[in-house]
Amino acid sequence: MEALTAKEQQFMNFLKEQNAYKEALTTLQWDSHTQIPRGGVDNRSEVVGFLSGKLQQSETSDRMKEYLDDMKATSENGLIRQVVEECERVYEKSRKIPNKTYQEYVTLCSKAEAVWEEARKKNEFSLFEPYLSRIVEYNQEFAELWGYEGNRYNALLDNNEPGITVETLDVVFPALRKSLTSLIEQVKASPVKADVSLLKSPFPIERQKALSESILEMIGYRFENGRLDTSAHPYSFAINPNDVRLSTKYIEDDFRSSLFSSVHEGGHALYEQNIGRNLMGTPLSAASSMGMHESQSLYWEMFVTADRGFWETNYDWFRSFAPDHFKSVSLDDFYVALHDVKPSLIRIEADPLTYSMHIMLRYELEKALLHGDVKAKELPHVWNELMQEYLGVVPGNNRDGVLQDIHWSSGDFGYFPSYTLGYVYAAQLHAAMKQEVMFENCLQTNDFLSIRQWFTEHVHKHGKTKQPLELLKEVTSEELNPDYLVQYLTKKYGEIYQF
C-alpha cells in the first residue's frame, strides 16, 4: 500500500480497534462451538453481547462519522476510499435503526432461539409462532427504514448478497427449478441405483480424523495458520487470514459426514487464508458475499473432491485409511453411491440436486412473509404445499418441516438464497477456470495448487473490495448465468445415471 498520511494512519488505527473486537468475538465463537464447558455458556453470552455492543457503538459513533467525512474530503488513497465506502455502508444502515428498537430485536431473537428449540423438540409450532410473527414485523420495519427499490425483500437481500434482487432471483430460480426437476425425474427413472449401504461401515474416528487432515493438506489448507476441531455443526472460524480454524463432525459408521464437511469448511477457509494481506485489519478483509463464500466451499466439496477424476486418482489413498470393508467395494459402486439422489424432508441432509429445491421454498416463503402475503400461522400449511409441489414429499410433522432450521428464530432473513447462489457462482467460475487451468490433468496428478492459485488470483485475494456480481462479470465476462450449473449437473449425473 502507498504511504499513508498521518490522518489516514489515524483512521486505520481506529479501524484496528474495531478489528480487535471482531477477532475477539470470532475467537470466542470458536471456543463456544468447540471447547467451552457446559457451565460456561451463560456467562459467555453476556460477554459476547457486551463486545458486540462495543463494536456496534464504535462503527456508528460520531468519531467514525468525523473520520469518514474527513477521509472523503482529503484522502486520495484508493484503498482508503474503498474502506470508507464499506464503513459508510455499515454506518448508514445501523444508524437508521433506533438503538432501542435494535436492542429489543436482539433480545427477542435470543429468546426466540430458545423457544424455537423447545417448539422443535415438542413438535409444537404454536409455541414459536408469536415470536416468528414479531421477528417478521421487525424485519418489515427494518426494510422500510433501510429503504429499497422494487420489492421490500431487496432490503434484506442486500445485507447478504449486494447487487442481487428479487427481480433477478424471480427469473433465475424458476428456470433452475425446472431444470433440476427434470434431472431428478431422470435419475428416478434410471436403471442405475445408488447403494448407500456400501458406504456405511464402522470407520474408527481416529482414522477419519487422519483422513480429514490429509485431504485438507492436499487441497492447500495451511495448518500452521489453522486447526481442525470437532463441533455439533461443522464450521469455519476466520479470526484473520493467519488464523482460520475449522470444525467437523464425525459419525462412526458414515465417513461422508466428516470427510465432506472437512472439505466444505476447508473451502471456506482457503478463501479466508488467501485474502490479500494488504486488506488486513480493515472491514474489507472478508469475503465478497455470503454466496461467494459458499461458492468456494461447494467448489472443493462438489466440483473437486466429488469428481470422478479425483476418486480415480485417490481411491487407493482413501482405502489406506478406511476399514477392510472398502477393499470389496469397487470404485464404480463407490462413486455411484456417493451420488445418491433422493427428495427428502431435511435441507441439510439433501443431495446437490434436491438441495436448491429446499432453498427456493424458503425464498418464496420469506418473500411472502415480508410482503405480508403469508402470515406466520399459515406457514406449516404453505410449507407442506410447497414441499409437495417442489419435491413431492411432505413432512408428517412440523419438526421435519417448518421448524427444522434455526435461521428464522435468529432473525436471519434474506440469507437462504446465498446457498443456491453459491452453486450458481461456483459452476460459472469453474467453467472460466477450465479455460485457463487443465482441470482434468490437475485431478490426475493431485495438483490442487494450480486450482487454488487460480481462485486466489481471481476471487480470494480481492476480499470484499468487489461485489459478487462485479467479481463474476470480471472473471467470467458474463452476468449471472445458471446455465453453467445446469450443464455441469446434467453432464455429471447423466454419466452416472446413464441418461
Q: Which amino acid is at 75?
A: S
**Least gap, CB of 172 to Zn ion (angstroms):** 20
Sign for the pseudo-dihedral over CA of 365, 367, 371, 376: positive
Percent of the chain that is helix, strand, coil (3-state, to 5): 70, 5, 30
Touching Zn ion, residues 128-167 (CB under 5 A):
none
**Least gap, CB of 474 to Zn ion (angstroms):** 23
Instruction: Confirm whether 364 is a catalytic residue.
Output: no
Residue 229 pairs with which residues in a beta bridge?
Answer: 247
Residue with CB nearest Zn ion? Answer: 297
**Least gap, CB of 191 to Zn ion (angstroms):** 34
Q: Which amino acid is at 43?
A: N
**Least gap, CB of 96 to Zn ion (angstroms):** 30
Cell of 288: 465478497
* Alpha-carbon distances, residue 219 vs 254, 313, 494 (angstroms): 22, 14, 27
For residues 158 and 265, which CB has a smaller minimum distance to Zn ion in the complex? 265
Touching Zn ion, residues 262-321 (CB under 5 A):
297
**Least gap, CB of 268 to Zn ion (angstroms):** 6
**CA neighbours closer than 13 Å in the CB half-sphere of residue 165:** 8
**Among 247, 251, 255, CA closest to 216:** 247
For residues 274 and 297, which CB has a smaller minimum distance to Zn ion in the complex? 297
Residue window 23-62: x/- pattern of binding to Zn ion, with contact defined by CB under 5 A: ----------------------------------------
Spot the catalytic one: 129, 265, 294, 366: 265
Long-range CB contacts (within 8 A, 24+) of 86-89: 86/282, 86/283, 86/284, 86/464, 87/15, 87/59, 87/283
For residues 262 and 297, which CB has a smaller minimum distance to Zn ion in the complex? 297
Q: How far is it, in rounded angstroms, from Cα 13 to Cα 24?
A: 17
For residues 258 and 297, which CB has a smaller minimum distance to Zn ion in the complex? 297
**Least gap, CB of 365 to Zn ion (angstroms):** 21
Which residues, in sequence order, are CB contacts of 93 under 8 Å at separation 6+? 146, 159
DSSP 39: G
For residues 297 and 409, which CB has a smaller minimum distance to Zn ion in the complex? 297
Angle between helices 205-219 and 448-458 (to 10 degrees): 60
**CA neighbours closer than 13 Å in the CB half-sphere of residue 205:** 7
**Least gap, CB of 418 to Zn ion (angstroms):** 9
Q: Which residue has the cell 428416478?
A: 188
Sign for the pseudo-dihedral over CA of 414, 420, 426, 429: negative
For residues 297 and 398, which CB has a smaller minimum distance to Zn ion in the complex? 297
Contact yes or no for 166/150 (Cβ under 8 A): yes
Where does 111-234 show beta strands of DSSP type E? 228-230
Count residues contacting Zn ion (CB under 5 A)?
Answer: 1
Q: How far is it, in rounded angstroms, from Cα 450 to Cα 438?
A: 9
**CA neighbours closer than 13 Å in the CB half-sphere of residue 359:** 28
**Least gap, CB of 220 to Zn ion (angstroms):** 18
For residues 399 and 460, which CB has a smaller minimum distance to Zn ion in the complex? 460
φ/ψ (deg, to 5) at 333: -65, -40
Angle at 264 between CA 263 and CA 269, to 5 degrees: 90
For residues 109 and 287, which CB has a smaller minimum distance to Zn ion in the complex? 287
420: contact with Zn ion by CB under 5 A: no
Q: Catalytic site residues?
A: 265
Binding residues (CB under 5 A) for Zn ion: these are 297
